[in-house]
Amino acid sequence: MSDLDVLIRFTQGHALVVGAGGDLPNTVNDAMGVARILKDPERCAYPPDQVHLFTAERATRAAVLSAFDTLAQSTDPQSTILVYFSGHGYRVTSPTGEFYYLLPYGYDLDRLYRTAVGGAEFADRLRALPARKLLVLLDCCHAGGVGEAKAPGLQLLKAPLPPEARALLAEGGGRVLIASSREDEVSLAGKPYSAFTRALIEALCGASVAKQDGYVRVADLAMYAREVVPRRTQERQHPILHFEHADNFALAYYAGGDVRPKGLPFAAEPQVEPEPRTSTVFYQRGQVVHGSQTNIVGDVHGPVLSGTFQGPVTIASRPSTDETLDLEPSPEATRLHRILKTRLDLEELRTLCFDLGVNYDDLGGEGLSGKARQLVLRLQKQDGLHLLLEWLRRERPDVGV
């Protein structure tokens, strides 16, 4: 990439990306993946300081609403704004009426009006944004424990999007809303990302652009998600699109200003959870595992497993062997392994795995050298060594690969 290419930015692009975390830890990874692809100079090329990411403890009600206010002040009618929320969405019936809430980090069922984001105030914050090009992405209605933990006097029903936001679209003004699932469906998690978010990231990388002119447009993203998500989930999940009174506007670059898609910046194959609200707990001898909700204490084939988990749990021992152990490393894999074990530390290797969509904890081997060896062998097996080279050139140009 030339110096000129590095300077190319989708300067009108602004984003607010929220991963609620809490009892949905996968939402943090999803939000980080969306933010990363938006800031990637070789893909969407949003200016990094215009992508506002809030996850887990930072994704509180107060922080999210404040971020909306900041976004309203820092954008103008020519801006393009993407709002992404990954977490619970619920329709709540109480003695005082029916309300919709997005549940950020730290929500309290007894104090929803103070700890969650109501549908009406969410719509008001969207209405206050001056941009005439606005895309709202809601990866809501996740499987989770909220519906099982009823607060006194409340009835909670999972709902993928606020009715107030739907009404807002009828006002026109270039607003588009895409939700991850229908009313009676859950949004299925997966690896490296949820089914819906994975499709969004692929579309933002130009997976199915109608016109290869360097831009990914709203319809490209919407149509791709509507096609891919049902297929990958065996028709268990169907994204829904609200596109009234909106142009098919350019949302981002898909190749950093180039017209040739560069593909995905990670090598992992998409995986979708087989059933919602089921946790598979892997344990090793002497390991103590912690979670939330259902208590589990037991002695399973030797090691003591203790902790608390949400919903039905499948207990399985972690495989002791790695599928790549019998793979002969290529000369290029050997060279890259040498670079990783001598020029990176363990924290950098963890970041590398995250960026490539590889679960660090699933890698075999011990220590920096062992983990790095298993990573390059896995990438070699998946024909993904070029992604590692690309990462090193972008993140560690001092290595000189």
Q: DSSP letters along 77-120, please?
A: TT-EEEEEEESEEEEEEETTEEEEEEE-TT--GGGHHHHSEEHH
Q: Tens of pLDDT along 328-362?
A: 888 888 999 999 988 888 888 888 887 887 878 77
The CATH class that applies to domain 3-272 reads alpha beta
For residue 85, give the amino acid letter.
Answer: F
The first and second tokens of residue 104, run together, are: 């950020």
What is the structure's pLDDT at 246?
72
Identify the segments of the chain with pLDDT beneath 50: 1-6, 147-149, 277-324
Task: Give the CA distances from residue 400 to residues 79, 150, 300, 346, 397, in Å, rounded to whole numbers and listed in that order.
Answer: 37, 57, 49, 20, 6
Q: Return the domain boundaries, the chain.
A: 3-272, 279-317, 331-399
Partners of residue 242 on adjacent β-strands: 177
Q: Tens of pLDDT along 80-124?
A: 999 999 999 988 887 778 899 999 999 988 889 899 999 999 999
Whether the CB-CB separation of 36 and 21 falls below 8 Å is answered with: no
Question: How many CA within 13 A on the CB side of residue 256?
Answer: 18
Q: Which of 114, 76, 105, 89 is nearest to 18 (CA)?
A: 105
What is the structure's pLDDT at 144?
60
Q: Which residue has the tokens 């062997």?
A: 321
Sorted by sequence, the CB contacts under 8 Å of residue 181 that are 6+ apart come out as 140, 141, 160, 187, 196, 237, 238, 239, 240
The answer to whether the peptide bond before residue 104 is cis (omega within 30 degrees of 0) is no
